[in-house]
Structure 1
Amino acid sequence: MRPRALVYGDVDLNLIDGSAIWAQGMVQALARAGCAVTLVLKAPVRTGRLVDPLRALPNVTVRSPHAEGLVATDQGMHPRTAATVLARIDAAGPHDLVVVRGRRLAGRLAHTDLAGRLWTYLTDVPQSAEGFTGQVRGELNRVADASRLLLCQTEELRGFLESAVPAAAGKSVLFPPVVVLPDGLEPRSEGAPEDRTLRMVYTGKFAPRWNTLEMTRLPALLGRRGVDAELHMVGDKVHDDPEDPGYAPRMRAALEGSPGVVWHGGHPRAEAMRLTAAGDVGVSWRHPSMDASLELSTKILECGALNVPVVLNRTPMHERLLGADYPLFAATEDDVVDALTLVGKSPDAYALAARRCRDAAADYTLDAAAERLTRSLAAAFPEPDRRVLRAGGRKLRVGVASHDLKFFTRLLEYFDSRPDMEVRVDHWSALRAHDPERGQELIDWADVIICEWCGPNALWYAERKRPGQRLVVRLHRFELYADWPKRLNIDAVDQVICVSPHYADLTRQLTGWPHDKVTVVPNWVDDADLDRPKLPGAEHHLGFIGVAPSRKRLDLALDVLERLRRDDPRFTLFVKTKLPWEYWWIWQKKEEREHYEEAFRRIRRSPLLAGAVVFDDYGRDVAAWLRRVGFVLSTSDDESFHLAPAEGMASGAVPALLPWPGADTIYDTRWIHDGTDAMADAIAATVAEGRWDTERRLAQSQVRNAYALNEVCRRWTDLLAAEATDAAPAGPAAATA
């Protein structure tokens, strides 16, 4: 059955601009990804040039609240009104996902029944510290909490959002602009414009920061250089600037009367792209205040798809897209004129620019967008498994009990997303603090109970579970050396889950539990979320996640760094962590304090370490942080699994481990080194011999095959499916729950 998608943007589809193009692309991509799509319009239809092509698509319904009498005004809907209308439309026939664009709108929908189904596309995010007020941060956190996914246009926006809004981490996925060429439209033919009028093209809105008024001077300025040129401008949305009331009249006058400017007015997108394809060069030169923008202009990509190179500002984002040596970067008016003059005088530069733009646009096709959405839809709406369903097709009732779900969150989300499972959580307020009435309700209801941590929660449920009810306990290193496993009624437990073969063996040895009751399901790694492009210089950056307690051995990581920097001062250690004094139970121990005091003293005093160790705040934005990291270190005395190297591998970094007990049962021995000197020498050789990219790709492939989130979820599904088959029917209390 097709997922039902409701789409709304704070977008007027009577006008051509980037947001209107977003709405078109989103609807088309969702439909191609297999959704039944309903697009709700913000404004009454005054021209069908953007809406009519969508009405013609199969599995797409376009609804106009104004035409249907759902809105009293003839103006575009305010976010408050839009939220009410969307809730009303959904109530008449609930949708599986609700794709919305606009921060204020999403903030209002966060308080409605649509919360949890929102796929929020965020672009209107303040991109400076001044604009990121407490009120804005709070609103964005509420939006993130209420959203199933946050769709981000660029990697830069995703990283910024995750660092500023903790709730966004793990929910942010890329949805770049979509470029769809109209049927029958061919890209511009190869070859530079020579011995004829140079045709420049701009499509979009006319606004001060878009430099559109300044663009109208370009034909005259080029004429002074002996270059015959025309500027073709497409669009009819002229910005009214409250700070400059005279802007709109001046802009219209320039469009109508500037020498060499041809104003085509507003057109359907297909016609606008045909006019672009007839041009020689696109102009996307903007005010310097927009250089820090985290958004990518759709116009640049459209030009690229049409084989039309673009003059645009040099920014880190544009350099990543087109290369630092792209020949048509420009900052000032003189730069723009120089670049446009180059177009006619250097066929090689023109060909290079066209090729770079064309290659860049290849990643932004409708097929690429549909593929991204297909992956997200598959994760959000897994197929049901007949093995999991109970008699009569009833969903399997899964209860989860824990005081701390930080290592279980994504599994819990996965169970909750499955159409064959129903999930309830008994959240203990502390390790030993529990509401027994809530626990009894879970016992009365659940077919299977999972205790995350083998602590007091496992003891409580093992003593009270119903006959035939399944009980699964997930055991970590923390509990193994406490007394809870010794007190656990193992006969009442159906399965004990350990995250590594070494700790499974150790658990059996220390507890004497039956061999077949202890099994291994590894920790998960969200490989899709972590797989992000590395930043320049990452091959010289070491990463270390979490320094406490002292058995994590920050001191050994410093040994590695010192040895590397003796020969190459580019190596730097980035440490993402809470500081040890933030853990009172660690800082109260004298030996722990002494360990860290010595490490920090050494960092200050060592000539090789001073300025080479960067401490970053602990937070959920690990995926964004790992973009700068080329090697992830694991120098611990012991670990049950140690997720950091696996996360590093998924991000495209090379793992480097010391041989703590059991490391070779989790990671390939090629990544395990006998000591800090051997580790440093291996890192140096990997970089010096040009093997870093090959090694990191191998590591990434290994972690995907073994610990990818979907693989670990599949193993949990298999485990619960087997138990569902073996389990006795739920008791009377469950049957009536």
Structure 2
Amino acid sequence: MVQSLARAGCEVTLVLKAPVRTGRLVDPLRGLPGVTVHSPHAAGRIPDHAVMVPRWAAGVLAELDEADPFDLVVVRGRQIAAKLAAGPLAGRLWTYLTDVPQHPAEFTGAAFGELRRIADASRMLLCQTEELRCFMESAVPATAGKSVLFPPVVALPEGLEPRAEGAPAGRALKLVYTGKFAPRWNTYEMTRLPARLTVDAEVHMIGDKVHVDPGDPGYAPRMQAALESAPGVVWHGGHPRAEAMRLTAACDVGLSWRHPSLDSSLELSTKLLECGLLNVPVVLNRTPMHERLFGADYPLFVATEDDVADALDRVAKDPELYALAAARCRAAAEDYTLDASSARLAGYLADAFPAADEKVLAAGGGRKLRVGIAGHDLKFFTRLLDYLNSRPDMEVRVDHWSALRVHDPAKGEELLDWADVILCEWCGPNALWYAERKRPGQRLLVRLHRFELYADWPRKLAIDNVDKVICVSPHYRDLTLAKTGWPSDKVVVIPNWVDDKQLDRPKLEGAEHHLGFIGLAPSRKRFDLALDVLEELRRDDPRFTLFVKSKLPWDYWWIWQKPEERAHFEEAFRRVRRSPLLSGGVVFDDYGRDVAAWLRRIGFVLSTSDDESFHLAPAEGMAAGAVPALLNWPGADTIYDTRWIHRSTTEMAQSIADTVRLGRWDADRRDGRAQVRAAYGLDEVCAQLVDALAGHAPADLGPAMMR
């Protein structure tokens, strides 16, 4: 982490939690440019004999921060992260999540509360694997939108070269294991392999920690005896990491075969990646994570001891198979090198700390531009607000109305006295209040949504006091102009944002046969038409399944109290229960913030609405690598490429079936992802909003709508 941050351009202070007994690990870091190694023990902050507990660590970090404030603090471990979450470093934490529950049954109320507090206090949450990230987002909603990948980092020690190319010839096959010796790591079974193979073999065991198993008192002595005397076993004892890697590079095949109970682990073994970097193929369990890394046809996937012996015999006798396994391991390790890690962190740093813009500073009169945000509900503005707060050329304050019409006038007057520019989220009572009171020279922007357009507030708005009204699509801009009669140069388009980086995740197996439908209420979303599409598809291919992520209609009292709404959904649900074609083909998933994780299983996102102002679901699906499928609701062609728009449910179903049958799914979803990034990606929309706040938005401002 220190090396990666330093390569990414940071000045790094490494705070040690233990006194330095040997310089083997620390001295190389002290020699790096821009790196400071701080030992609280050596500085006298902590007694030399004492172990640094989280409370002391928090105090040390707070003292260092007070003397020279940090921009970010990377912390690993739940206990210390929880301690820091309640202190002055909250909001600057980049928390590396490892020691967290990895099964829903392990989530006690206390664990959930602690992780939620850590998530709230963290600027980013670094997750080792995609599997861990998705699990955390489902289990702790506060982690959604903040969780990013930071996989293990592997680097060759100085002077160590990877194993030479080619299968072993003319000598015994050398197998190698590095780590602890424990029952679930199958280390005792590994010592039996030389006797089981049909080729000459030896097992090199590196490590000195033998697990004492209360459930099997005989394990430790049995394991110790095998290390010392089993035929074909060479026990090297414990060694520093660099020496262990040198010993590994002198062997032919790594052993990482474990008990099936570990298959559900959400973490990735660094030893696997080190072997790949050393050009040493590895025997390991078949899991979805490993298949994604090495390919489903990797030749050294195993389940039983017999499988291990058979696989090793095959690669020992087949040079081409050995070369294939080595190449797969080498390719898998490439994404986990120090260069890859520093590039990944550089991207996160660029997102978290955008550069200042001279035109924004100019709009603030040579200082930070003072931006006020006012509204009762900022759910459509969250990531935009995060971005504005992160900019070094802006200062942001929020007048958060407690309800649509409930406001503290004193807070509003304070914002009016302070701000250079005010943006009202929603064209409601907040916009009317600020338009009546805007001071001379102050700029006022209003973001108008579908909800307000059909209410009275736009008609009452003092439009002469508003600099720009922002709509999310050209169609709604046209409707707004027609309905209000406002001057055309007052109404501009800045589209809804799509968090394309968060949504860009690998698909799960079978996704091409999975349809997604996000938000089924109210009835104008036309869930019934989505069922029509599914029935058409399942007539020929029962693998097609509709996944619905939504609150159910009775969860919205204002919808369920309407007889026509209730009748619509009662009929739709009767149809799901009774239709032979729909039986087993519709899955209802909980509403929640884990949309990015949910979309990994979705291959097509449907939009069958009667009308929409924008409809974010297809765009989110595109960013997640799904193909959009829309009916031609009014204005759809001003937002989405017409290739994704269909005239009927029959045409939509036929297009989906052809896309899968003709093998076009991968190409189509790549096209869709590129389109949505260019038109509605978060960076693109943020740039347009910054221009508007700085007063540089032209009258015809609008995105490069999909074509």
Is residue 318 from structure 1 mapped to residue 293 from structure 2 by the alignment?
A: no
Q: Which moved more, 1:312-321 or 1:468-477?
A: 312-321
Question: Counterpart of 1:718?
Answer: 691
Distance in 2 separating the partners of 1:241 and 1:447: 67
Structure 2 counterpart of 1:357, from 329, 343, 347? 329
Question: Counterpart of 2:255?
Answer: 283
Please give the per-residue CA displacement for 1:155-205, whole angstroms capped at 9, x wherever unaligned.
Answer: 111110101110111111111111212343322122222331222222234
Distance in 2 separating the partners of 1:345 and 1:156: 35
Q: Which moved more, 1:183-192 or 1:300-309?
A: 183-192
Amino acid across the alignment from 1:139: E
Question: Counterpart of 2:704?
Answer: none
SS at match of 1:586: helix
Question: Counterpart of 2:551?
Answer: 578
SS at match of 2:41: coil
Question: Counterpart of 2:670?
Answer: 697
Please give the per-residue CA displacement for 1:364-391, whole angstroms capped at 9, x wherever unaligned.
Answer: 2222111111111001000001111256
Distance in 2 separating the partners of 1:134 and 1:84: 27
SS at match of 2:694: helix
Question: Counterpart of 2:143?
Answer: 168
Is residue 271 from structure 1 mapped to residue 243 from structure 2 by the alignment?
A: yes
1:233-252 to 2 correspondences below 5 Å? 233-237=205-209
TM-superposed CA distance for 1:88, in Å, is: 2.2
Please give the per-residue CA displacement for 1:644-679, whole angstroms capped at 9, x wherever unaligned.
Answer: 010011111111111111111111111111111111
Is residue 201 from structure 1 mapped to residue 173 from structure 2 by the alignment?
A: no
1:138-157 to 2 correspondences below 5 Å? 138-157=113-132
1:597-676 to 2 correspondences below 5 Å? 597-676=570-649
Question: Counterpart of 2:507?
Answer: 534
Distance in 1 separating the partners of 2:87 and 2:235: 44
Please give the per-residue CA displacement for 1:522-564, whole angstroms capped at 9, x wherever unaligned.
Answer: 1111111111111111111111110111111101111111111
Distance in 2 separating the partners of 1:722 and 1:553: 40
1:9-158 to 2 correspondences below 5 Å? 26-158=1-133
Structure 2 counterpart of 1:298, from 270, 277, 290? 270
Cα gap change, 1:335 to 1:716, in 2 (>3 Å): same
Conserved 8 A contact 2:194-2:203: no
1:308-387 to 2 correspondences below 5 Å? 308-387=280-359
Question: Counterpart of 1:230?
Answer: 202
SS at match of 1:389: helix
Question: Counterpart of 1:515?
Answer: 488
Conserved 8 A contact 2:195-2:231: no
Structure 2 counterpart of 1:452, from 425, 435, 438? 425
Distance in 2 separating the partners of 1:351 and 1:505: 62
SS at match of 2:79: helix
Question: Counterpart of 2:448?
Answer: 475
SS at match of 2:106: coil
TM-score normalised to the size of structure 2? 0.95
Amino acid across the alignment from 2:244: A
Cα gap change, 1:392 to 1:407, in 2 (>3 Å): closer
Distance in 2 separating the partners of 1:44 and 1:233: 30
The runs of 5 or more residues in structure 1 that have no matched partner are 1-25, 726-737
Number of matched pairs: 697
Q: Over aligned residue pairs, what C-alpha RMSD do you find?
A: 2.0
Is residue 424 from structure 1 mapped to residue 408 from structure 2 by the alignment?
A: no
Conserved 8 A contact 1:387-1:724: no
Amino acid across the alignment from 2:341: A
Amino acid across the alignment from 2:201: A
Question: Counterpart of 1:182?
Answer: 157
Question: Counterpart of 1:688?
Answer: 661
Conserved 8 A contact 2:533-2:652: yes
Distance in 2 separating the partners of 1:106 and 1:465: 44
Amino acid across the alignment from 2:28: P
Distance in 1 separating the partners of 2:630 and 2:383: 26
Question: Counterpart of 2:498?
Answer: 525
Distance in 2 separating the partners of 1:43 and 1:234: 25
Q: Which moved more, 1:489-498 or 1:328-337?
A: 328-337
SS at match of 1:337: helix
Is residue 557 from structure 1 mapped to residue 530 from structure 2 by the alignment?
A: yes
Give the share of equivalent positions with the same residue, in percent.
77
TM-score normalised to the size of structure 1? 0.91
Amino acid across the alignment from 1:337: A
Conserved 8 A contact 2:431-2:461: yes
Distance in 2 separating the partners of 1:550 and 1:270: 63
Please give the per-residue CA displacement for 1:386-425, whole angstroms capped at 9, x wherever unaligned.
Answer: 1112566321111111111111000000000000111111
Distance in 1 separating the partners of 2:373 and 2:126: 29
Distance in 2 separating the partners of 1:102 and 1:144: 13
Cα gap change, 1:329 to 1:586, in 2 (>3 Å): same
TM-superposed CA distance for 1:302, in Å, is: 1.1
Please give the per-residue CA displacement for 1:210-269, whole angstroms capped at 9, x wherever unaligned.
Answer: 333443x23xx4235454333223344555667778766765565445444333344443
Cα gap change, 1:268 to 1:61, in 2 (>3 Å): farther
Distance in 2 separating the partners of 1:202 and 1:33: 33
Distance in 2 separating the partners of 1:164 and 1:335: 35
SS at match of 1:62: strand
TM-superposed CA distance for 1:73, in Å, is: 4.9
Distance in 1 separating the partners of 2:50 and 2:284: 35
The runs of 5 or more residues in structure 2 that have no matched partner are 699-707
Distance in 2 separating the partners of 1:442 and 1:342: 74
SS at match of 2:677: helix
Distance in 2 separating the partners of 1:29 and 1:233: 31
